[in-house]
Amino acid sequence: MLDPKLISGADEVAALGIATLWNDAAPLIRHMLDHQVDDIDDGIRQALECDRDDCETHDVRHREGDEACPCWACENGGLLQMARDLQHWLDDLAAGSHGYGGPSTPDRLLGLITDWLYINGHAPRTQVAAYELGAVYRLVAELADQAKALFATYL
């Protein structure tokens, strides 16, 4: 549960609204993210390993010459670290801390959600269908509005 007191850069009413929307969307995000981390890890392992006798190693198959490796594991190599980092951020927020030492501003929270949406779109098998993301989209809209208002104060 995100405590509205942890949200800076928004007034009390906006922080309460963000926290409410966050707490509605976070269980789905966290549940799926845990499965997606395992899914991405399996996808990378499967792309790098081959048990067939006629298969060569990943290095021989995909790293010949200076060409970029076309396999799923290499194309999505940073996805697993992004997903694990997001797990840590969500754990910090759930524990009542600011997440990696910074304040939970609307723009930082928006970044977390958009990171998850990216992960959700690239996980090999465990993707949440768009029609199931209503709570997430409502949260994204509110965070975007609040981030825009926050940045407007700097201009």
Residue 62 has pLDDT above 60, yes or no: no
* Alpha carbons 102 and 67: distance in angstroms, whole number: 39
Task: Compute, in degrees rounded to 10, the torsion defined by CA atoms 51, 75, 80, 113.
Answer: -150
Query: Which has more confidence, 79 or 77?
Result: 79
Tell me the residue range of the domain where 69 lies.
4-152
The secondary structure element, H or E, covering residue 73 is helix 72-75
With bands split at pLDDT 50, 70 and 90, how would you rate the model's confidence at 44? confident
The domain total for the chain is: 1
**Mean pLDDT, rounded, for 75-86:** 90
Do 27 and 139 contact (CB within 8 A), yes or no? no
Q: In the prediction, which pLDDT does 97 show? A: 75
**Mean pLDDT, rounded, for 59-66:** 56
């390993």: which residue's tokens? 49
Please tell me the pTM assigned to this model. 0.84
